[in-house]
Chain A
Amino acid sequence: MAVDDKMTSMQSPADRLAIRRKGGDAPDERLAATSGLVQMLRRPEAGAAAGLVATMIIFALLPGAANLYSLQGSMTFLTLSAELGIIATAAALLIIAGEFDLSVGSMIGFAGIVIGLTVRELHFPLWGGIATAFAAAILTGYLNGLIVVKTRLPSFIVTLASLFILRGLSIGITRAVTGRTQIPYILDGIPDPGTAAIFNGHLLTGLFQWMGTAGWIATRSDGTPFVAGIPMSIVWWLVLTALAGYVLTQTRYGNWIFATGGDATVARNVGVPVDKVKIWLFIYTACAATLLAAIQVVEAGSADTTRGLLKEFEAIIAAVIGGVLLTGGYGTVYGVMFGALIFGLVQMGIFYTGIDTDWFKVFLGLVILVAVLVNNYIRTKAIGRGASR
């Protein structure tokens, strides 16, 4: 928002005054001056950013900080954040549009199984298996969306059904075909390093090797650095966050997403294709889950029917911590990025500090509660000027 815009509104237009409200409530008096800081605090991601800073400070003061904030430790928690962030960004867009997808976690497991079975049993190349998984995701997302918009049932119920169906299909098919619930050795004997590198490679390996040789970062005895480069999961996360952020704030589709979640009837009346918006976003969440599945399968070399368990809730939590309103119509993806960072940081931080990791879930519950309270407060207080661009 340009500052000069505000200036013009403070000068009364000379003509056209006839219809204006008379008396002492001229616009310049109603427009309280707000400092840059207040404007920043009013942004929907402000709470999550403050939470992230606070969490970082807390763990910096606790034992184990040196390991947590080392290059290796940072990459570990950033990878955790990235894997969550990929699905949380998609979940956030869907929540902003007023719907939930509880089948995200099951979709992660199902997509992994599709990749595993097509590659191991049908002898697809790796790229073919991953492409098949994405096709399954598009179909799943489309059906989720179609059922929600056609039946007008709450998406909570519809995707709860998908959650069980997809998980059941994963276990049922895998056990019927292989007699087990895991599919190991997916990458063995399938030379497709190009595809594998897209999902589990590293970026800037030359730079990290150079830094290792120069003695700036820790290396193994053979001279290779412990951190080979920036993991592709982080690259995917940042790219998807940037794209989603662009679409949400800069394009007409973003306007439609906000409107769909804000008031679907109003949006429909002015010609927003509300149903299409929802179906596309269900497809996006299923595809985001499949991307994460591909990353995990290629990383582990195996697929497991239990992958992605409870991930749908973690995605929703990250979105809520990031300032997305559960009731729809409000939120940013940058906030969700902070939410995912808090999540990854705490998960690894608790590990490095030596606190019993059983306590992680207690912490998680408390964070959700605080995040929702803060969001509620922000919605009522700061919905004013500048909060909704």
Chain B
Amino acid sequence: MSVPAMELRGVSVNFGSVKALQDIDIKVYPGEVHSLLGDNGAGKSTLIKVLSGVHRPSSGQILVDGKPVTLRSPRDAQDKGVATVFQDLGMISMMSITRNFFLGREPTRSRLPFSRMDKEAANRIARQAMADIGIDIRDPTQAVGTLSGGERQSVAIARAVHFGARVLILDEPTSALGVHQAAVVLKHIIEARMRGLAVIFISHNIHHAYPVADTFTLLNRGRNRGTYAKADITRDEVISIMSGGEDLKALEADIERLLASIRQPVA
């Protein structure tokens, strides 16, 4: 394959004596949905923060388009083509869609410091950018707080795509959503992939990740437990590895025994 859009080489993150991530290698290619799966505590949140520029790795390298980079902040990462849609949605609910869309990158009519924002252009561009990935909004001046969770995710994805992201990182994009809305967001993820973006989809929900992902990287206890192409692994195998395999089987057996002991007297 070509050069990975984003690559981690031997990335470790330590918080004091806690090793949150150890020696992680990940390659994400353009036009690929790469799903990072892991149970709670697997190190997903730390990994997102490394990928998005919130934390810097204690050791290891981050490469974007084959070049080593240092991501100083989420904004710095965005400027280098790596955009993250955070789980808490990354939007300000009392501000309008357009104001959120252009926050930090407001179009002005001239380069003078107190120049007017070009609101007409901003509204037009925001509407168009969202139409381009298939989102039809009612009114770009309405407050983000009036949108549903799925719509907010959609706006955030449209914003990342519009501002030239080549790597789109989605942190649990479907976890807070209902079935229908989650499906809508999954469609946007495929749209982004079709435009040649590398999509990193972080989730603990295999049922949302499996249908859209091309590749899976499974995390457990801060380590990479393997990267698999979709053709090489089944849904059940994924679940087994990400939950620690044998542990879960033992736990399930325990639950079965408990349930059996409850049923016994009734029967």
How far does the alpha carbon of A92 sit from the alpha carbon of B171 in the complex, in Å?
35
A76 at the interface (CB under 8 A from B): no
List chain B residues, Cβ under 8 A from A12. Answer: 136
Scan residues 60-83 of chain B and give those whose CB is less than 8 A from a CB of chain A: 73-75, 78
B265 at the interface (CB under 8 A from A): no
Given that A251-B115, A266-B90 are contacting pairs, would A19 and B103 also be in contact in the complex, using a CB cutoff of 8 Å?
Answer: no
Closest-CB distance, B181 to chain A (whole angstroms): 9
Measured CB to CB, the nearest residue on chain B to A327 is: B94
Q: Which residues of A contact B (CB under 8 A)?
A: 1-2, 5-6, 8-9, 12-13, 16-21, 27, 30-31, 246-247, 250-256, 258-259, 262-263, 266-272, 329-330, 383-389
Closest-CB distance, A112 to chain B (whole angstroms): 30
**Majority-rule SS of B interface residues:** loop
- Cβ-defined contact, B146 with A384, below 8 A: yes
Measured CB to CB, the nearest residue on chain B to A263 is: B92
Given that A13-B131, A258-B92, A262-B94 are contacting pairs, would A5 and B102 also be in contact in the complex, using a CB cutoff of 8 Å?
Answer: no
List chain B residues, Cβ under 8 A from A266. Answer: 88, 90-92
**Majority-rule SS of A interface residues:** loop
B149 at the interface (CB under 8 A from A): no
Instruction: Identify which of B20-28, B183-191, B233-241, B242-250 touches chain A.
Output: B183-191
B226 at the interface (CB under 8 A from A): no
Chain B residues touching A, range: 35 or more
Closest-CB distance, A277 to chain B (whole angstroms): 12
Measured CB to CB, the nearest residue on chain A to B134 is: A19
B86 at the interface (CB under 8 A from A): yes
Given that A251-B116, A388-B96, A388-B99 are contacting pairs, would A270 and B143 also be in contact in the complex, using a CB cutoff of 8 Å?
Answer: no
List chain A residues, Cβ under 8 A from B208. Answer: none
- Cβ-defined contact, B136 with A20, below 8 A: yes
B93 at the interface (CB under 8 A from A): yes
How far does the alpha carbon of A252 sit from the alpha carbon of B74 in the complex, in Å?
19
List chain B residues, Cβ under 8 A from A258. Answer: 92, 94-95, 99
How far does the alpha carbon of A329 sit from the alpha carbon of B180 in the complex, in Å?
31
List chain A residues, Cβ under 8 A from B145. Answer: 383
How far does the alpha carbon of A267 sit from the alpha carbon of B103 in the complex, in Å?
8
Given that A250-B116, A269-B90 are contacting pairs, would A9 and B78 also be in contact in the complex, using a CB cutoff of 8 Å?
Answer: no
